[in-house]
């Protein structure tokens, strides 16, 4: 078969010289992160929703949720765009164009990019024709990607100032991590090839963030798709099938210049964020399994280093698969003014807010419980040092007991509202929160105090994906039509 013959193509980022001195014609997004904070409030949010892995033979879909408090359909799904195939596992999402293209008047934030983690397809969704009811624009088929690059299991998509789109891919068609790398698509969603130079693929793939002022891109490490698609097995960590490294690339050249081994305290480094201020040469990565936040930073000799700046202690538990339960930091983000960091503990069930005005010393300013395995009513209990057992109080919302744990989060531009979904990956959902298979996900909104710090559940907002027309679905990544603090990069 033709798809068995892989001809590796290596693409380079398009050279697109754009003047940064214009004063009138501007492209998408905002000139600075602080300007973005003054942008219009959100009225819609797009959510990737999954039927893959649930036992329901329905296609995954993109939900449009009304988040305008003055609207009659506030806190409701107002549109569903099913994709044309089954078993995709929609996961993360990105844009064809964002604030990195702000100086390019010819650029438009139009297409939401939806990589399918399991099938390998990538969908381009038109959100401009009707923002409330997006439409399918194009499908990049996995056969095309495989034949030209050998890449599969696409995950994170970021728009580049050139107009190209870069997508991290976590393995080859057989799920081996050795085949992972970075896919380049052009502005028409044609496959250009691999971004990284031959011999410069990372050990494992997952997330990435680039910062042109420091001529650097840094990528993180989940694990081999052949392992994580089967569910989490602690033995696979010992077998070397999960990652613990940060890969420091020369940008935009695609050559690894340094690899940081985070060691046994940095297992499964997932989401990565530089500070939004593009002059800053520091950022954070959340290490899920060991539940540490690692700060990375440039040193005086232009190399990069790292340090643990906060840790979520594992809890001693009874009636669980292990005697200790990690928090499992699966997502975090940074407010656009670089003042606050928000993280989730998917297993423990809490969301935390830290002041990071001193990035070396994050200060916990608030914490709220929105689910988790140790909430009251669960068979699992935590054990204190004196042997006493306890569970956490979790507020019901509109009569609904909260399911699962906080997983993906998204922050409003002004930093005052935090949105939360609770699905990680269908196989892991089934393993750790089987109730989600039966009752589906939900989406919450947390009110944020941006002056003194503080988190409070909004009792008027609850989106129940358990009552969807085709049955309960799993909700994951969230995006605003105008961009946000995890989609947009300033250069």
Helix (H) or strand (E) holding 234: helix 234-238
Q: Say which residue the tokens 């590796």 belong to.
A: 8
Number of residues written out for the chain: 491
The residues, ordered by sequence, that sit 6+ positions from 175 with a Cβ below 8 Å of its Cβ are 152, 153, 224, 225, 226, 227, 229
Whether pTM exceeds 0.75: yes
The answer, yes or no, to whether residue 19 has pLDDT greater than 90, is no
Q: Whose structure tokens read 């990372």?
A: 202
Mean pLDDT, residues 275-287 taken together: 98
Give pLDDT tens digits for 454-482.
999 999 999 999 999 999 999 999 999 99
Residue 343 corresponds to which tokens in the numbers above?
A: 């993280």
Distance from C-alpha of 452 to C-alpha of 482, rounded to nearest angstrom: 27
Q: Are 424 and 409 in contact (CB under 8 A)?
A: no
Q: How confident is the model at residue 9 (pLDDT cuts 50, 70, 90)?
A: confident
pLDDT in tens, 35-60: 999 999 999 999 999 999 999 999 99
Q: What is the separation, in whole angstroms, between the first and last Cα of the chain?
A: 43
Each residue's pLDDT tens digit, 230-261? 999 999 999 999 999 999 999 999 999 999 99
**Token pair listed for 406:** 């906080």
Mean pLDDT score of the chain, rounded to an integer?
95
The kind and range of the H/E element at 34 are helix 33-37
DSSP secondary structure letters along 436-451? HHHH--EEEEEEE-TT
Q: Is 25's pLDDT higher than 80?
A: no
CA dihedral 182, 46, 123, 200 (to 10 degrees): 0
Among 78, 71, 86, which Cα is nearest to 47's? 78
The answer, yes or no, to whether residue 2 has pLDDT greater than 60, is no
Mention every residue, 6+ apart, whose C-beta is less than 8 A from residue 437. 54, 55, 429, 430, 472
Q: Please say if the pLDDT value at position 23 is more than 70.
A: no
Q: How would residue 17 be classed by pLDDT, with cut points 50, 70 and 90?
A: very low
Q: What is Dmax (Cα atoms) for the chain?
A: 66
Query: How much is the pLDDT for 8?
Result: 72
CA atoms of 215 and 400, how far apart (whole Å): 48
Residue 373 has pLDDT above 80, yes or no: yes
Residue 272 tokens, joined: 């990565």
Closest CA to 416 of 449, 452, 369: 449
Rounded distance between C-alpha atoms, residue 279 and residue 470, angstroms: 47
Q: Alpha-carbon distance 178 to 156, whole Å?
A: 18
Residue 251 · residue 212 · CB < 8 Å: yes
CA distances from 165 to 122, 216, 290, 487 (A): 11, 17, 32, 12
- Domains of the chain (ranges; CATH) run 33-479 (2.130.10.10)
**pLDDT band at 378, cuts 50/70/90?**
very high
Residue percentage of the chain with pLDDT more than 70:
96
In angstroms, the Cα distances linking 320 to 189, 214, 383, 424 are 45, 45, 12, 19
Task: Please give the pLDDT value at position 16.
Answer: 56
Taking residues 205-228, what's their average pLDDT?
98
User: Residue 26: what pLDDT?
Assistant: 87
**Cα angle vertex 371, ends 83, 457, to 5°?**
90
pLDDT value of position 21: 37
Region of poorest pLDDT, from 22-31, 133-142, 367-376, 380-389: 22-31
């Amino acid at each position: 078969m033709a798809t068995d013959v892989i001809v590796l193509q290596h693409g380079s980022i398009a050279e697109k010289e754009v003047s940064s001195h214009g004063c009138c014609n501007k492209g998408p997004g905002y000139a600075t992160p602080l300007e973005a904070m003054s942008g219009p409030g959100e009225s819609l949010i797009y959510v990737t929703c999954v039927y893959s892995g649930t036992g329901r033979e329905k296609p995954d879909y993109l939900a449009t949720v009304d988040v305008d408090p003055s609207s009659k359909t506030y806190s409701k799904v107002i549109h569903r765009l099913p994709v044309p195939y089954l078993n995709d596992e929609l996961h993360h999402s990105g844009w064809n164009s964002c604030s990195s293209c702000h100086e390019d008047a010819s650029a438009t934030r139009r297409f939401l990019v939806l990589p399918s983690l399991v099938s390998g397809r990538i969908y381009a969704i038109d959100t401009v024709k009707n923002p409330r009811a997006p439409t399918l624009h194009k499908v990049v088929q996995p056969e095309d990607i495989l034949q030209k690059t050998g890449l599969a299991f696409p995950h994170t998509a970021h728009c580049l100032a050139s107009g190209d789109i870069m997508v991290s891919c976590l393995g080859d068609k057989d799920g081996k991590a050795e085949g992972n790398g970075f896919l380049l698509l052009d502005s028409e969603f044609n496959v250009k090839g691999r971004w990284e130079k031959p011999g410069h693929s990372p050990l494992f793939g997952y997330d990435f963030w680039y910062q042109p002022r420091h001529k650097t891109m840094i990528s993180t490490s989940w694990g081999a798709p052949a392992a994580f698609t089967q569910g989490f097995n602690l033995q696979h960590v010992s077998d070397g099938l999960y990652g613990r490294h940060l890969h420091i690339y020369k940008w935009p050249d695609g050559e690894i210049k340094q690899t940081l081994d985070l060691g046994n305290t940095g297992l499964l480094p997932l989401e990565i964020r530089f500070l939004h201020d593009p002059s800053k040469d520091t950022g954070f990565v959340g290490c899920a399994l060991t539940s540490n936040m690692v700060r990375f930073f440039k040193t005086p000799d232009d190399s990069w280093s790292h340090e643990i700046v906060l840790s979520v202690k594992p809890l001693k538990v009874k009636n669980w698969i292990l005697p200790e339960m990690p928090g499992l930091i699966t997502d975090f983000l940074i407010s656009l003014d670089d003042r606050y960091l928000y993280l989730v503990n998917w297993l423990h069930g809490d969301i935390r807010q830290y002041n990071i005005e001193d990035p070396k010393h994050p200060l916990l300013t608030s914490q709220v419980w929105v689910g988790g395995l140790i909430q009251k009513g669960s068979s699992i209990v935590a054990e204190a040092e004196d042997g006493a057992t306890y569970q956490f109080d979790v507020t019901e919302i509109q009569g609904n007991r909260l399911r699962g744990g906080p997983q993906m989060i998204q922050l409003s531009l002004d930093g005052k509202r935090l949105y939360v979904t609770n699905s990680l990956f269908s196989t892991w959902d089934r393993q750790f929160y089987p109730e989600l298979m039966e009752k589906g996900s939900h989406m919450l909104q947390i009110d944020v105090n941006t002056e003194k710090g503080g988190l409070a559940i909004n009792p008027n907002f609850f989106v129940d994906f358990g009552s969807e027309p085709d049955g309960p679905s799993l909700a994951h990544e969230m995006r605003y039509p105008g961009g946000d603090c995890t989609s947009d990069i300033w250069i």
